[in-house]
Amino acid sequence: MASLWVRPAFLSAVLLLLLEVASAGLNGYFGTKSRYEDVNPYLVRDPLSLGPAAVGSGLPPSCAPLQLRALLRHGTRYPTAEQIRRLGDLRARLLRRRPAADSGAAAAACPVAADLAAWQMWYNESLDGRLAPQGRRDMEHLARRLAARFPALFAARRRLVLASSSKHRCLQSGAAFRRGLGPSFSLGSDEAEVEVNDSLMRFFDHCAKFVALVEENDTAMCQVKAFKEGPEMKEVVEKVASALCLPVEELNADLVQVAFLTCSYELAIKNVTSPWCSLFSEEDAKVLEYLNDLKQYWKRGYGYDINSRSSCILFQDIFQHLDKAVEESKSSKPISSPVIVQVGHAETLQPLLALMGFFKDDEPLKANNYIRQAHRKFRTGRIVPYAANLVFVLYHCDQVKNPEEEYQVQMLLNEKLMLFQHSNETISTYTDLKDYYKNILENCHFKEECELPKVNNTAIDEL
Q: Which residues contact 196 (CB under 8 A, 6 or more apart)?
A: 163, 164, 165, 166, 171
How many residues are present in the chain?
A: 463
Strands (E), 27-176: 63-73, 160-164
- Distance between alpha carbon 324 and the CA centroid of its chain, in Å? 30
61 and 398 in contact (C-beta within 8 Å)?
A: no
Report the alpha-carbon angle 148-151-152, nearest 5: 165
CB < 8 Å & 24+ apart, contacts of 357-363: 357/421, 358/413, 358/418, 358/421, 359/301, 359/383, 360/302, 361/302
CA distances from 105 to 97, 110, 329 (A): 14, 9, 77
226 and 367 in contact (C-beta within 8 Å)?
A: yes
Max intra-chain CA distance, the chain: 93
Alpha helices in 304-429 (DSSP H): 305-309, 312-330, 346-355, 380-383
Alpha carbons 171 and 168: distance in angstroms, whole number: 5
Pairing outcome for strands 339-344 and 407-413:
unpaired
Alpha carbons 20 and 274: distance in angstroms, whole number: 9
DSSP 119: S
Active-site entry in 74, 141, 321, 345: 74
Neighbours of 355 (CB within 10 A): 20
Question: Is 74 a catalytic site residue?
Answer: yes
Asked whether the CA dihedral 428, 434, 436, 441 is positive or negative, the reply is positive
Instruction: Return the exposure string of 164-200: e unless at least 16 CB atoms fall within 10 Å of the residue's CB, then b.
Output: bbebebbbbbbbbbbebbeeebebeeeeeebebbbeb
- 53 three-class SS: coil
Q: Which residues contact 257 (CB under 8 A, 6 or more apart)?
A: 288, 291, 292
Closest CA to 173 of 403, 6, 415, 343: 343
**Residues classed as catalytic:** 74
